[in-house]
Amino acid sequence: MNKKVILQDLGFKDYKQTWDFQETLFKEIVDLKIRNRREAANLETPNHFLFVEHPHVYTLGKSGDMDNLLVDEKMLQKKGAKFYKINRGGDITYHGPGQIVGYPILDLDNFFTDIHKYLRFLEEMVILTLAEYGLKAERSDGETGVWLDVGTPFARKICAMGVRASRWVTMHGFALNINADLGYFDLMIPCGIKDKAVTSLNVELGKKEVDMDEVKQKLLHHFETLFEAELTKQKTEV
């Protein structure tokens, strides 16, 4: 099993461009697995982890409801935002500046073949990272992602998640609000969940801005520990 994970920080990149890059990496892994099965080969499958920050964009998952986007195309243009229907699970999600988006593209045959466990590990990675900032983050029953003050009238989401998996290969991932403009969340019903607030790390810490690179390093540390992975940094290709 190959537990090495190639890390690329794509910086500030268009959503569609990044999605296409994800699809390329995803297909390469799936094609290798098909070849291994057909030819009884034993070719090593790679794993990838992409960090990226997107311009304003709304994405709707396969099971999502268009009614959860509360504005029309004209308003999206006015706000400088794009919209895409995509092939992950989950409902509607926003990505934008000040948000750390992570896309692990892993062959789970290299780790464990359990999507439920995979999602719980991604959540745990974020929970442990936020604990380093003195925040008690939690899961919310039946609602994928990471929350604060679960079970109270003040429950608020700080990290959204939505993944796709085929032949135990994953894509898409998580979006953690660090210095996000929360006003953009008012243009949708986040993840299709009504009457729940959204927050950002800088708001919770009472800071104007949180060091995003510092947060990334904490996330990667916990990712390596939870997945027993070995990260190797690679120059950006996209």
Residue 141 labelled as part of a binding site: no
Say how far apart CA 52 and CA 174 lie, in whole Å.
Answer: 11
Residue 161 labelled as part of a binding site: yes
Residue 151 labelled as part of a binding site: no
Residue 102 labelled as part of a binding site: no
Radius of gyration over every alpha carbon of the chain, rounded to an integer in angstroms: 18
The candidate with the shortest Cα–Cα distance to 68, out of 190, 162, 157, 155, is 190
Is 191 assigned a catalytic role? Answer: yes
Residue 206 labelled as part of a binding site: no
Residue 59 labelled as part of a binding site: no
Determine the longest span between alpha carbons in the chain, in angstroms.
57
Say how far apart CA 96 and CA 55 lie, in whole Å.
Answer: 5
Residue 89 labelled as part of a binding site: yes
Residue 95 labelled as part of a binding site: yes
Residue 6 labelled as part of a binding site: no
Residue 221 labelled as part of a binding site: no
SS3 of residue 116 by DSSP: helix
Say how far apart CA 95 and CA 207 lie, in whole Å.
Answer: 21
Per DSSP, what are the bridge partners of residue 171? 164
Strand spans (E) along 86-168: 92-95, 99-105, 137-140, 143-148, 156-166
Say how far apart CA 66 and CA 81 lie, in whole Å.
Answer: 16
Give the pairing type, strands 156-166 and 169-177: antiparallel
The single residue of 57, 155, 191, 220 carrying the catalytic annotation is 191
Residue 162 labelled as part of a binding site: yes
122 close to 173: Cβ distance less than 8 angstroms: yes
Per DSSP, what are the bridge partners of residue 198? 157
Residue 164 labelled as part of a binding site: no
Residue ranges of the binding site for substrate: 88-95, 160-162, 173-175
Catalytic positions: 191
Residue ranges of the binding site: 88-95, 160-162, 173-175
